[in-house]
Amino acid sequence: MPEREIYLLSPRALSPETIAVAFAKTSRAPESFREIAAELSDEQSAKFHEKWVVGYGHASVAEHAVLHVAFENVSRIAIETIESSRLASYTEKSTRYQKWGQADFTIPPELDGHPLCDEFIQTVRFLFSTYAESLDPLKNLILQRSPRRENESDEGYDRRIRSQYVDRCRFILPAAANANVGMTANARVLEMIIRKMLSHPLAEVRQIGEKMKEVAKAETPTLVKYADAVPYFVETISEIALTPTPIPYGEGQGVREDWCNLIDYDKDGEKKILAAALYRFNEMSFADALAYVKALQEKEQADLAETLLKRLNRYDVPLRELEYCNYTFDLVMDQGAYAEFKRHRMMTQTPQRLTTRLGYTIPLLVTEAGFGSKYEAAMQSAIKMYEKLYFFNPDVAQYIVPNGFNRRVLAQFNLREAFAFCQLRSAANAHFSIRRIAQKMYEEMARVHPLLTKYMKLHNETWEQVEENYFTQV
């Protein structure tokens, strides 16, 4: 009997394309992975990919070639496109814990030589100077309210304090602010991301896409060399963007009560989940399982739900059967909250462009520190610049929008993902903007599906309490 072996094909010894070929060949070759890899050269690997991946469309082979891409000093609006693939992994410089320097921003290439360029730079500098000016007043207030703990080190105390005041000041930073992000992705995903970026309406994003293709070709020359702009993306986006769109909120207005609107859900979703669980562990058709669940009394359905979820701990992943119930929300949240929200890539998310036309949030700490008037002056300057840029180019106008402004997002997800999102983002250490969203979404789902949602383990607060404790204005 052959001996079981589990080992790594090291990227230090083999190129990503060679590793991909070694795994691909096992479907037809009897040799071990080590033996297959030892016989391959980079040239042979390239020919294999040219024939099978490119020529015959066996794109899944490219998933075995993994790259780690570092992006530095790119705007946060560009990072949204970089991070838009749900099949890659990302880690981004945090505005919650790090301070931004006065020159840490991108000037959109579209403004090169344009009459609005100087005014844009002045407005961005005003936002950054206001951000820098806000740090000390908010820090001093936090120092008064959060004394040093016994035996707490200088470093530990500074880190704890910084996470509170920097967190509030970040609402002033515009989307032009630069950040760094690390991405890990396989070559198939990488090619799709490059195509998307080369098709993007923003010049900065296209430039990043070109550079990304260039550096990726050094490791996977065959697998990404055909990554080009996609006419379908370019032409469709340009035509749809010309469609007149009503703007329901006036300049500077706050958001109405429909900021968290459950617009669609599966009314039989809970019953379908229970039926799917029975289907998995019993010998019956799904139709029979669903009929069985529907025939149960409410108490019997509740007992079945308890059996399914009562042992679930906070950090456990629920059974996949919870994916048979979907929800669709139309949300309005500040851009800072969206930075957290977009990380939940198991959702289907459709964000609108950044705008200043949905109003802005004011953190309560900003007001309490006596910085409210300067904060609002910064936001008003962004509004004025946005309107000028909008009539030049709505996509470019996004660069000037600070984190504190609201944005619309359409999101669809299943109950399994709802457990993950609501439990994680309602936790005490989650940012208060996203806690407000998580608590309100939970409330809406609990209203229509109380049987299963009650097993979510949320932080003991309501969205109303979050608003009262952390916001002057939302």
- How does the average pLDDT of the chain come out, rounded? 91
Please state the rounded mean pLDDT for residues 414-441. 95
Please state the rounded mean pLDDT for residues 436-445. 98
Which residue from 62, 163, 143, 168 is spatially nearest to 402, judged by alpha carbons?
168
The predicted model scores a pTM of: 0.91
pLDDT of res. 250: 46
Domain layout of the chain by residue ranges? 1-64, 260-351+407-473
Confidence of residue 243 (pLDDT cuts 50, 70, 90): low
Instruction: Compute the distance between CA of residue 421 and CA of residue 409 in angstroms, rounded to an integer.
Output: 15
- By CB atoms closer than 10 A (0-12, 13-18, 19+), residue 397 is buried
- CA dihedral in degrees (422, 427, 429, 432; nearest 10)? 60
pLDDT at 122 over 90: yes
| β pairing state of 326-334 and 348-351 | unpaired
In order of 47, 63, 415, the CA distances from 85 in angstroms are 28, 14, 21
In order of 66, 186, 199, 311, the CA distances from 59 in angstroms are 14, 11, 21, 40
Confidence of residue 246 (pLDDT cuts 50, 70, 90): low
pLDDT of res. 58: 63
Looking at the domain that runs over 260-351+407-473, which CATH code has it been given?
3.30.1360.170
